[in-house]
Chain A
């Protein structure tokens, strides 16, 4: 069997994957999607909001990531994501609620801090929805 990649996925909240052996990783890089296979040259990549996909034993797994960075070196892929949710664990109903709530907060425009928080929430919820939909 060919060489494998080791995938680490951490967010500020927690470590989601530790040295997971995978065959391939597809990243939502700043300038477009980017595939990483074993033997990739060392790289430092900025991520945007989008789907991070990895292949393991012929199966695809999707994460909705909220931007961040990826370091690739010696077949180790370190992902530092702002936030990450496994697509299968995303609850569309809950995300819809969040989008609605955030939009409501945005339309009011009174308190400045709430405004910024709502904007972030909205962006994240939309990303999660997109990733979830793509998977289904």
Chain B
């Protein structure tokens, strides 16, 4: 049987751990508000930009293509016929830290499945978040190339991070002639849940409307193709920014939930230990009383 002292020490340890977990919960809870605001504020830019790009996509694609079999930049971004079918890209966004429940595990499991499904491809990986980076670096698969990594950006994601990430993705996509780029991350659904999303981000999906205005009546400065060439990467980066913010908010929500569950759990264990403590103490007292009664009885006899 445990001694009273041991149990007391145990309870004390659990309570102080609970204190830490509660504090962590409160911190991420406070940060969530901010992360959510940033997420909402970033939405108009991405949606309006998408509208604009969609409006002009058909016009750009209708421009005459070079005759020598090479694809124009715009058509590479959107249709991508001349890509190397053996090369694909994978962008994985995880958190930097653990203590977030299954947040990272879910993403890494999906990433692992993706890698297994495409094991005969050359895979170019972009890793955001320390957990994902470490995991992918440990795999040491010969067909896996980590071309870009970004760690320690949460919970202070800025547009500059999205800019660098987008730049790296687009550059690799064009230079290595990737067939496509897939993104795996956790989307912020609500404070209570995150959803794992796996989507193809390149080549860029066409959302063109059929009855779109012709670009002909527009005035361009400098020129349609030149602007388009800058606008699409912009949009992709704006999208990256949105995804990073989503992921950041989801990560904070997961931390909050995990810490909440953990501190509840700690509370339960502490309560159970408290019961044991009382029982042990009572048993001790009973024993002592028995000793005294026995002693007294022995004396009278």
- With A41-B217, A42-B217, A83-B159 in contact, is A10–B45 under 8 Å at CB? yes
- Identify which of A10, A12, A69, A116 contacts B231 (C-beta below 8 A): A69
Q: Is the CB of A14 within 8 A of B164?
A: no
Is B222 located at the chain interface by the 8 A CB criterion? yes
Q: Is the CB of A120 within 8 A of B163?
A: yes
Query: Which residues of chain B (1-48) have a CB below 8 Å from chain A?
Result: 38, 41-42, 44-46, 48
Q: Which of A43-51, A85-93, A94-102, A125-133 faces chain B?
A: A43-51
Cα A113 to Cα B163 in complex, Å, equals 11
Is A30 located at the chain interface by the 8 A CB criterion? yes
Q: Is the CB of B219 within 8 A of A11?
A: no
Cα A71 to Cα B227 in complex, Å, equals 11
Range of interface residues on A (Cβ < 8 Å): 20 to 34
Is B49 located at the chain interface by the 8 A CB criterion? yes
- Identify which of A31, A82, A116, A120 contacts B221 (C-beta below 8 A): A31
State how many angstroms separate the Cβ of A42 from the closest Cβ of chain B: 5
Nearest opposing residue in chain B for A113, CB measure: B164
Q: Is the CB of A80 within 8 A of B48?
A: yes
Query: Which residues of chain B (199-250) have a CB below 8 Å from chain A?
Result: 217-222, 224, 226-227, 230-231, 234, 237-238, 241
Q: Is the CB of B222 within 8 A of A30?
A: yes
- With A44-B56, A44-B227, A120-B160 in contact, is A12–B42 under 8 Å at CB? yes
Cα A44 to Cα B56 in complex, Å, equals 10
Q: Is the CB of A46 within 8 A of B162?
A: no
State how many angstroms separate the Cβ of A19 from the closest Cβ of chain B: 12
State how many angstroms separate the Cβ of A109 from the closest Cβ of chain B: 17
Residues of B within 8 A of A42 (CB): 217-219
Q: Is the CB of A43 within 8 A of B163?
A: no
Is B52 located at the chain interface by the 8 A CB criterion? yes
Contact with B along A6-30 (1 / 0, CB 8 A): 0010111111000000000000011
Residues of A within 8 A of B150 (CB): 113
Cα A97 to Cα B241 in complex, Å, equals 26
Cα A83 to Cα B158 in complex, Å, equals 12
- Identify which of B42, B52, B217, B226 contacts A13 (C-beta below 8 A): B42
| 15 A-B pairs with C-beta separation under 8 A | A10-B45, A12-B42, A13-B41, A13-B42, A13-B159, A34-B221, A42-B219, A43-B220, A44-B220, A71-B52, A78-B52, A80-B45, A80-B234, A82-B159, A113-B150
**Other 17 A-B pairs with CB < 8 A, given A12-B162, A34-B221, A46-B221:** A8-B48, A12-B159, A14-B41, A14-B44, A15-B41, A41-B217, A41-B218, A42-B217, A43-B219, A44-B56, A44-B218, A68-B234, A69-B231, A78-B48, A78-B52, A80-B48, A80-B49
